[in-house]
Each structure stands twice: as structure tokens, then as C-alpha cells.
Amino acid sequence: MEVEIVTFPETKVACIEHYGSPLLEHETARRLIAWKIENRLLDQLQYRNYGLHYTDPRNTSPVEHHVDFCLAVEDDVGPNPYGIGTKLIPAQRCARARDVGSRSNNRAAVYLYETWLPQSGEALGDFPMIFHYVNVGPNVKEAEMITDVYLPLSVIVSS
């Protein structure tokens, strides 16, 4: 799998937090989708879709599982009935790998964390793993789903 070291740009996002079972993530994401449609933020190049994955559902109890579903925006999010707020993803060094296929089995995330990181000489940064859902929508087939995974790395301090 190809891995690149990149700088993820500072990105303002509309965000909804999900706590609990991974099986219920879709219900949380649907609230962000409804807000996105209502506000006509449909251009996937301008309003990129992200997931901030604080925990690994493979080894975290459903009660402790946490992921934020986000949409890149230019302005702060105003009051709304969906529970959407504003967050900022900071600029940071990351290792990036691409996964193509089902989002329920992200091989790039597993590879970056379990194989690449221990062999890289890099140290894990202090931010959750970022998933950029490159193509989303009801017409995207599971086998064609593209997700760029960003593993935050610690800043290298030169002496």
C-alpha cells in the first residue's frame, strides 16, 4: 500500500458527534446529511466529507466508541435542530493512504496504524485519525467507495 507524508490543511468543519455503537453511526450521519441538503452544501469538492475516528471499533466497547462526522465549510454553523456544530481540524503532518472499497472494512486505516507506523520511525500525533470520504452518496457502489485515511504524526523537532 502506498503511503505519503503530507500536511493536512487547517479545515473548518460542520460536525456531529457520534458516541455509542458503530451499528448506529449511519443514524448520526443521516442528521449531518439532512443538514447538508437543507443548506445546499452539495458540491463534494468544496464541501468535503470527513470522519474523525477517536476509537477503533474493533477493540473499543460500543459505549466508549466515538467518531465525528464532518463537512468542510467556510462559515461557522448557526443554531440548528440537528445537533450540528463547528470544529476546526488543525493543520498537521500526516501519513496518508487510500482505501477503495467498503467503508466498513477500511484496510488503509489498519495498515497505517498496525503495519506502517511501527516500521516508519514516526510517532503518533495527538489527533484522531481522519477519514476523507472522497465520494459519497446513494449512487456510489460499495466496491467503488474511496476513502483517503490520514494518520496524524508528531511534529519533528530539530535540535
Under the banding of pLDDT at 50, 70 and 90, the label for residue 103 is: confident
Cα-trace Rg, the chain: 16
CATH ID of 4-152, from 3.20.80.10, 3.40.640.10, 3.90.1150.10, 3.20.20.70: 3.20.80.10
Round the average pLDDT of the chain to a whole number and report it. Answer: 94
What pLDDT does residue 158 have?
53
pLDDT the model gives residue 126: 95
Q: What is the pLDDT of residue 132?
A: 97
In angstroms, how far apart are the furthest CA atoms of the chain?
51
Nearest Cα neighbor of 101 from 5, 25, 1, 34 is 1
